[in-house]
Amino acid sequence: MHGLRRRRRDLLVLTGLAAVVLAASTAPTAAAGAPRPADPLQRQVEAIHDTGAVGVQAEVNSRGARDSAYAGTAAAGTGRPMPRDGRFRIGSATKTFTAAVVLQLVGEGRMSLEDTVERWLPGVVRGNGNDGRRITVRQLLQHTSGVPDVVPEIPALRSPEGYRAERFRTYSPTELVGTAMRHAPNFPPGEGWSYSNTNYTLAAMIIHRVTGRSWAREVTDRIIRPLHLRDTGTPGAFPFIRGRHAQGYTAFGTGTGAGTEVTELNSTMAVGSGSVISTVHDLNRFYAALLGGRLLAPAQLAEMTRTVAAPELGVRYGLGLAEIPLPCGGSWFGHRGELLGYVTWAGATRDGARSAAVYINSDGGRGTQQAMTGLVGRELCRPSAAG
């Protein structure tokens, strides 16, 4: 897709991953509580702010040690500093949570990655050449299903007018999939790669069908509570961000700068694919636990990190995880997230020993994505990553 249509699709997509292959206002850190201009993490955060982001926070964790840095403001045109451990919509980083739940169910023998969508959701993926009888659960999680993306059809994500008119609208998963089925598949199942948020809406529906409980409850009981992710939640139709948070801004693909303030949003259009609210600290805990083997058995973690080429993005993709080259050699696993006004990059080294997360509360400008991915890569290459 091109132009505005492509931009809106990218709100929940890993756009900018290719920048990793090609290649971060002074504020206090959590550890020191005072500006630290000589600190490498602080310098990188300030560099990200300098590319046009309204506000920035980053955190790096390694074997219990925690380093945070902040720059910019929590509200455009004010001097209000970015909140410590502020909560924000993590967008597509939600997909890693959803994939982890599916793989837990696979490990429990309750379903298989080779099950068809039709087995669990009879008749749901049909029409215009779409056929759930030919699509597997693995293909959903891997974005090799060919299922069309619903995001370009969501008015609230496309323009200031659409946002103001529909920011409180509630969607059902069935409605979202039905909307996507109006379009032909991108390719026959298993014969290509294309990022589609509909894949993870379907995965959330399958989780509900297998367990008899909602996607939100399974994510909460299987991941959020066991890992004590105290600032992470699934908001459902509730459109506000509780607790400490920065305001979110987007220009809807029409330029740079703060654009429209979009903090309020009913994110039911992103259930399973992008609706989780969290913090950089909780994201670090999550990715470290996942890659460190605390959430999945070895067989399922191996499936999750077995990647295929994702030419659309210029990297490799597994099951809810991107594999991204490190500047020091090797790779890290994580995900980009964006959902109206907030953009994040988060992930961990292959063994989970070191994790890094960064977010901004606006679109940013030229070079913002490279600065963000550069920060994650450099921090995961720091010597302490090896112990």
34: CATH:
3.40.710.10
Catalytic positions, written as ranges: 92
CA dist 36 and 135 (Å) reads: 52
Sign of CA dihedral 34, 343, 324, 107: positive
Give the whole-number percent of the chain exceeding pLDDT 90.
Answer: 85
pLDDT per residue as tens digits for the range 244-258: 999 999 999 886 668
Average pLDDT estimate for 88-103: 98
The encoded tokens of residue 94 equal: 């939600």
DSSP 319-367: SS-EEEE-TTSSEEEEEEEESSS-EEEEEEETTSSEEEEEEESS---TT
pLDDT per residue as tens digits for the range 213-224: 999 999 999 999
**Strand ranges for the chain from DSSP E:** 55-62, 65-72, 88-89, 126-127, 130-131, 249-250, 260-261, 277-278, 308-310, 315-317, 322-325, 331-338, 343-349, 354-360
For position 314, what pLDDT does the model report? Answer: 87
Count CB neighbours of 23 within 10 A.
15
- Find the range with the poorest average confidence among 58-67, 79-88, 112-121: 58-67
Convert 243-279 to b/e letters by CB count within 10 Å (16 or more is b): eebbbbbbbbbeeeebbbbbbebbbbbbbbbbbbbbb
Q: Which residue has the higher pLDDT, 147 or 2?
A: 147
The encoded tokens of residue 268 equal: 């039911």
For position 17, what pLDDT does the model report? Answer: 52
Are 319 and 302 contacting, i.e. CB atoms less than 8 angstroms apart? Answer: no
pLDDT per residue as tens digits for the range 14-49: 444 544 444 433 333 333 344 445 689 999 999 999
pLDDT per residue as tens digits for the range 329-387: 999 999 999 999 999 999 999 999 999 999 999 998 889 999 999 999 999 998 754 43
Helix then strand then coil, in percent of the chain rounded to 5, is 35, 15, 45
Residue-range definition of the domain harbouring residue 333: 3-386
The rounded mean pLDDT for the chain is 91
Are 128 and 139 contacting, i.e. CB atoms less than 8 angstroms apart? Answer: no
Residue labelled with tokens 């550069």: 374
For position 254, what pLDDT does the model report? Answer: 81
Residue 145 has pLDDT above 50, yes or no: yes
For position 256, what pLDDT does the model report? Answer: 62
CA dist 363 and 68 (Å) reads: 21
Are 142 and 247 contacting, i.e. CB atoms less than 8 angstroms apart? Answer: no
Strands 322-325 and 331-338: antiparallel
The distance between the two most distant Cα atoms of the chain, rounded to a whole number of Å, is: 59
pLDDT classification of 188: cutoffs 50, 70, 90: very high
What are the φ and ψ backbone dihedral angles of 113, each rounded to 5 degrees? -65, -20
Q: Which residue has the higher pLDDT, 235 or 35?
A: 235
Residues 6+ apart with CB under 8 A from 221: none
Average pLDDT estimate for 285-297: 98
DSSP 212-241: SS-HHHHHIIIIITTTT-TT-B--TT--S-
3-state SS assignment for residue 116 = strand
Are 212 and 264 contacting, i.e. CB atoms less than 8 angstroms apart? Answer: no
Query: C-alpha distances in angstroms, 337 versus 169, 197, 242, 367?
Result: 21, 12, 19, 17
CA dist 349 and 213 (Å) reads: 32
Query: C-alpha distances in angstroms, 100 versus 201, 279, 343?
Result: 14, 19, 21
For position 386, what pLDDT does the model report? Answer: 40
Indicate the number of domains in the chain. Answer: 1
Average pLDDT estimate for 280-287: 98
For position 163, what pLDDT does the model report? Answer: 98
pTM for this prediction: 0.91
3-state SS assignment for residue 316 = strand
